[in-house]
């Protein structure tokens, strides 16, 4: 496929991918201060494949949300043409699946081939890939052929210059747009000198852009040092990690801002984009460094919420104002959605405001089971559930069809299963059929199970080989609807 993006990797100053640091607030701040390209933190392919892409209309972001409702990756229009999504992967097909999931929201895709940490290498990812050139070639070739956005990778150097250059030449042949090189071996740490000579040898050996990385300790203390490091490595661009983590205004040509101002700018983005307070706290601690023992540092360390972080930095008013604006926007959108729901509501759907509370039912007995049993008794087709998810708050609503009549609850639930149970309750109550609640007294499904279990035991005592009791079969098992839950149109 043809790359159809203007993203260029020559003459650029780039925010490096950093675990726990490269989230949306830091990326936006780096762009504000002059970074040309920003990389997100490494995100593992398997985790990303479990995520759903959700439009967050309150924050005006695109969120990739895990099954536990945790936001794994959040991005926005401001960075769409300059953010590179870095993933950890050791499998070409998984990498391609993730790339296709996110490519419409990012400017490029990067494969991490340099992280020496165990959480990355134990799965064959990160620096572990450096010892498997065939796998590297497979992953990168699959990505280059499979997506429209530019593909890059980030490596560390090998024990010898010759081996490193040969590997990079092989990588170049896959068709990637650029390669980032951390000028240290996988066993070396930041205190070890960066090998500028090796990065320079790579730059001279290939025609694709080479992005030099690893200069924060030895070279980059202010903006002018970025060019010094670039010249020392003869690289096309420079990627900055720790120097930017300590003070992202390192990207400013005019010179860095005072740290207090930088931290306040960071907090504004963290509040504006609802960044989790633990991540915000971590990044601020990296900026404070030796000031962690000051009064402000101790307040930050003790903070247990975004609000407390704001209070520690004398930004309580900003927090109150911003969260009030976001809450008002959320309320407005919810009202608009409800109005739209009412306008397009099917008049033939019978509705009630009910929720399923499992504490009101015996163990393993649910309204869906009762409804299924009633349909079989009355010789109706089994109930059909249609469930949708609302993008704004990711809540679910289900409509059940029984004997050509539709039923649903007007209350939206936090899971697909709860929404379906609520729909079943509406149907059962409309029909005047018991739903299995503890307060209804004797439960015929439980009694039926007990009778069948007793028959099973008696027959077994008499040496008869019989099938399992029916409640362990389908006729007392909730029928499950399609697991792919569509989202409501926005």
The 10s digit of each residue's pLDDT in 146-161 is: 999 999 999 999 999 9
Q: What are 403's two structure tokens?
A: 């004997």
Cβ 419 vs Cβ 409: under 8 Å: yes
Helix axes 444-461, 367-377, angle to 10 degrees: 80
* Residue 364, pLDDT above cutoff 90: no
Cα 129 to Cα 1, 143, 435: the distances in Å are 25, 16, 56
Catalogue the active-site residues.
115
Per-residue pLDDT, averaged over 310-320, amounts to: 96
Torsion of CA 260, 261, 264, 270, to 10 degrees: -120
pLDDT attached to residue 267: 98
pLDDT attached to residue 480: 45
Percent of the chain with pLDDT over 90: 74
**Strand residue runs (E) in 34-162:** 37-39, 43-44, 52-56, 61-65, 71-76, 83-88, 108-113, 151-157
**Helix and strand numbers, DSSP H then E, in the chain:** 17, 16
pLDDT higher at 204 or 449: 204
pLDDT attached to residue 159: 96
Cβ 87 vs Cβ 64: under 8 Å: no
pTM for the predicted model, two decimal places: 0.74
Per-residue pLDDT, averaged over 408-416, amounts to: 91
Lowest mean per-residue pLDDT among 25-34, 181-190, 330-339: 330-339
pLDDT attached to residue 363: 85
Tokens 């900003």 appear where? 318
Lowest mean per-residue pLDDT among 104-108, 197-201, 331-335, 482-486: 482-486
Each residue's pLDDT tens digit, 218-273:
899 999 999 999 999 999 999 999 999 999 999 999 999 999 999 999 999 999 99
What's the CA gap between 98 and 42, in Å, rounded? 13
What's the CA gap between 92 and 135, in Å, rounded? 8
Q: What are 99's two structure tokens?
A: 């790339």
Q: What are 369's two structure tokens?
A: 């089971």
Strand partners, 238: 13, 212
What's the CA gap between 428 and 415, in Å, rounded? 20
Helix, strand, or coil (residue 30): helix
30 alpha carbon, distance to own chain's centre? 21
């Amino acid at each position: 496929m043809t790359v159809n993006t203007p993203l260029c990797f020559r003459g650029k100053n780039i925010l490096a991918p950093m675990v726990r640091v490269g989230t949306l607030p830091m990326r936006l701040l780096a762009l504000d201060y002059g970074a040309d390209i920003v990389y997100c933190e490494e995100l593992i392919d398997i985790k990303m494949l479990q995520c759903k892409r959700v439009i967050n209309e309150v924050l005006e972001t695109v969120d990739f949300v895990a099954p536990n409702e945790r936001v794994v990756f959040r991005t926005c229009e401001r960075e769409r043409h300059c953010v590179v999504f870095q993933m950890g992967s050791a499998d070409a097909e998984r990498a391609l699946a993730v790339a296709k999931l996110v490519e419409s929201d990012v400017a490029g895709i990067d494969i991490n081939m340099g992280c020496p940490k165990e959480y990355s290498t134990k799965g064959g990812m990160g620096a572990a890939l450096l010892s498997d050139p065939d796998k590297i070639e497979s992953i990168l070739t699959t990505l280059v052929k499979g997506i429209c956005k530019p593909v890059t990778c980030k490596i560390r150097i090998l024990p010898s210059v010759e081996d490193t250059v040969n590997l990079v030449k092989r990588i170049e042949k896959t068709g990637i747009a650029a390669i980032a090189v951390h000028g240290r071996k996988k066993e070396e740490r930041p205190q070890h000198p960066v090998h500028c000579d090796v990065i320079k040898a790579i730059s001279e050996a290939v025609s694709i852009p080479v992005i030099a990385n690893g200069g924060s300790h030895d070279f980059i203390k202010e903006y002018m040092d970025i060019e010094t490091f670039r010249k020392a490595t003869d690289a096309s661009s420079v990627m900055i990690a720790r120097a930017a983590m300590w003070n992202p205004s390192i990207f400013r040509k005019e010179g860095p801002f005072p740290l207090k101002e930088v931290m306040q700018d960071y907090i504004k983005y963290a509040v504006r984009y609802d960044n989790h307070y633990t991540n915000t706290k971590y990044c601020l601690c990296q900026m404070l460094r030796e000031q962690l023992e000051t009064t402000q540092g101790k307040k930050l360390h003790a903070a247990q919420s975004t609000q407390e972080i704001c209070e520690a930095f004398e930004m309580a008013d900003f927090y109150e104002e911003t969260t009030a604006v976001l809450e008002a926007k959320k309320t407005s959108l919810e009202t608009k959605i409800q109005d739209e729901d009412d306008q397009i509501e099917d008049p033939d759907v019978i509705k009630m405001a009910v929720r399923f509370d499992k504490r009101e039912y015996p163990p393993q007995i649910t309204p869906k089971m009762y409804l299924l049993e009633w349909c079989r008794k009355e010789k109706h087709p089994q109930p059909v559930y249609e469930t949708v998810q609302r993008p704004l708050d990711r809540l679910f609503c289900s409509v059940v069809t029984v004997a050509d009549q539709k039923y649903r609850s007007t209350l939206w639930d936090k899971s697909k299963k709860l929404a379906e149970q609520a729909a079943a309750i509406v149907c059962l109550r409309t029909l005047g059929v018991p739903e299995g609640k503890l307060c209804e007294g004797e439960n015929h499904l439980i009694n039926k199970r007990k009778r069948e279990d007793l028959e099973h035991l008696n027959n077994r005592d008499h040496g008869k080989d019989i099938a399992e009791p029916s409640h362990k079969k389908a006729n007392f098992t909730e029928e499950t609807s399609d697991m792919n839950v569509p989202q409501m149109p926005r």
